[in-house]
Structure 1
Amino acid sequence: MNYSKKITESNSNYDKLEDMSINELLVNINKEDQLVPKAVEKVIPQIEAFVEKALDRMEMGGRLFYIGAGTSGRLGIVDASECPPTFGVDHGIVIGLMAGGDKAMRKAVEFAEDDTEQGWKDLQEHNINDLDSLVGIAASGSTPYVIGAIQHANKNNILTACITMNPESDLAAFSTYPITPIVGPEFVTGSTRMKSGTAQKLVLNMISTSIMIGLGRVKGNKMVDMQLSNNKLVDRGTKMIMHELNVDYEVAKDLLLKHGSVRKAIEASNK
């Protein structure tokens, strides 16, 4: 890819950051952040096209994979890890992988992202197959670990998409469904953990949430299959049942704890 066309590496619209007051820094960062939702809005058709295809495959038993490096990889892992508690799906339904493995979540693993073959090797450990879908996440669109995984996935008839901020990147070119929100230069030049990372997070939320709703994991607007992993969620589930069945708090809580989920409690009571 032509380095000069890397939007993510273009010079910040601001200079002499060290001379700005705290207020000026915060106001200007926020000003840039406000551009992100508009950039994501423009790529909704791209997101929709991928989600439709991925949902079809997941309804047939396929899985959703995210793969990335650095901030991009971490964001994919976070989104994947939140699907089981939020929607009650098994941990193996949405899977996040990153260069350097789980230890790279906290501490960068040097040069891990430069291996063009390791991404595919990591995916093979999960027996990825042609019912599955793969989203490569890389702000620059030039990460070898991600590009290599996408190329191998294409050869194996796996549905591929990417989230990158450089529409003319190699990653966008190799992915069947490129999702390319253009957020412009970062406040700190090249710091893609900022606007680019925010855009990636928004897109990932849209992908996973719309797929989970499509799979029937939401009723009305409620997370009826959420895992009861803390008191806050038990309380939330209890109030859902109170509202749905018109019963008092203690009755609702007893039903929830007996059946293990809001959905099962309501279904059992409606029989």
Structure 2
Amino acid sequence: MLDKLTTEARNPHTINLDEMSTLDILRIMNQEDESALQAVEEELPNIEKAVKLTIRSFKNNGRLIYVGAGTSGRLGVLDAVECVPTFGTEPEMVQGIMAGGMKALYQAAEGVEDDRELGANDLKNIQLSENDTVIGIAASGRTPYVIGALEYANLKNASTVSISCNKDAAMSAYGSVAIELVTGAEVLTGSTRLKAGTAQKMVLNMISTAAMVGIGKVYQNFMVDLKPTNEKLLERSKRNIMEITGVDYETANTYFEKSRHQVKVAIIMILLQCSFEEAVSRLEHSDGFVRRALAK
């Protein structure tokens, strides 16, 4: 029942929201957002479990699949698409699936979130396997579409994680890891795109970033597998090479070209003064970890 969900409760601090000044509205929203930070902090042990499942999937050539409806689904898609330029992943490696398909990203798809079977079918369509990790996202923790997806994922022996914003959420029973972000009543009653959405986005950031660190997509705190698909990313690639190796711009540019636009390879070529072939070989024998490749 919706009336028992804290995400649907009325916030006593904003009862007179329509009478507040603009600055007062902003102040109360800023104050209320602090509960999103606290909610995430309390769930760090479960978030760690989710990261470890994701790393295991990646190491077994599996995928990370976000599943959600409405705002929750859009957040999953957003995190998934950002992994491609940030970490140089293939689009299939991290996917966002939402009720109603990609059209629902910009146009509300009414009713589809209540279809449990549709959630299962959307995972069938991508040939879900036991090597994948499925993360179901729903602020209410009761969305049938997401529960149906998690149910199917469990049948396929995939790793499952539920992310909700209510305590003892119905959805939690379907995740091998249950993350419950209790953010409380929203400033605008029931508008879970606010605190609940903020907390969910934080967790997705954590899971994808920490998992990518765990498979060698990061060296120190630099993106070293980014895809330089535009001028900004080309320049960022060269700056990263400069920062890590201490060379000047011209040298970084030279090695960037020699490495065939592979930042990791350029770094190893410079620091070890080795050939392209040796740098590539070292990376292959180090599972893509730059630090390990440099130590060999």
The 5 Å alignment of 1:1-271 reads: 2-13=1-12, 14-258=14-258, 259-269=260-270, 270=272, 271=274
C-alpha contact 1:140 1:164 (8 A) present in aligned 2: yes
Aligned residues: 270
CA distance in 2: counterparts of 1:29 and 1:40, whole angstroms:
17
Greater RCO (CA < 8 Å, at least 6 residues apart): 1
Identical aligned pairs, as a percentage? 44
Once the two structures are overlaid, the 10-residue window that deviates more, 89-98 or 48-57, is 48-57
CA-to-aligned-CA distance 1:142-164 (integer Å, 9 cap, x gap): 11110111111112211111110
Instruction: Tell me the CA shift for residue 245 of structure 1.
Output: 3.1
TM-score, structure 2 as length reference? 0.88
In structure 2, the CA distance between the partners of 1:169 and 1:246, relative to structure 1 (3 Å rule), is closer
Instruction: Tell me the CA shift for residue 46 of structure 1.
Output: 0.7
Once the two structures are overlaid, the 10-residue window that deviates more, 197-206 or 157-166, is 157-166
CA distance in 1: counterparts of 2:240 and 2:54, whole angstroms:
30
Letter matched to residue 150 of structure 1? L
The CA RMSD over aligned residues, in Å, is 1.3
Once the two structures are overlaid, the 10-residue window that deviates more, 49-58 or 9-18, is 49-58
C-alpha contact 2:169 2:180 (8 A) present in aligned 1: no
Once the two structures are overlaid, the 10-residue window that deviates more, 52-61 or 203-212, is 52-61
C-alpha contact 2:57 2:64 (8 A) present in aligned 1: no
CA distance in 2: counterparts of 1:243 and 1:225, whole angstroms:
15
Instruction: Tell me the CA shift for residue 12 of structure 1.
Output: 1.5
CA distance in 2: counterparts of 1:239 and 1:261, whole angstroms:
13
Instruction: Tell me the CA shift for residue 166 of structure 1.
Output: 1.2
After the TM superposition, list the runs of 4 or more consecutive aligned residues in structure 1 that deviate by more than 3 angstroms: none
Unaligned 5+ runs, structure 2:
275-296
CA distance in 1: counterparts of 2:256 and 2:103, whole angstroms:
37
Instruction: Tell me the CA shift for residue 55 of structure 1.
Output: 1.3
C-alpha contact 2:72 2:197 (8 A) present in aligned 1: yes
C-alpha contact 1:5 1:168 (8 A) present in aligned 2: no
CA-to-aligned-CA distance 1:29-62 (integer Å, 9 cap, x gap): 1110122111100000011122212312221111
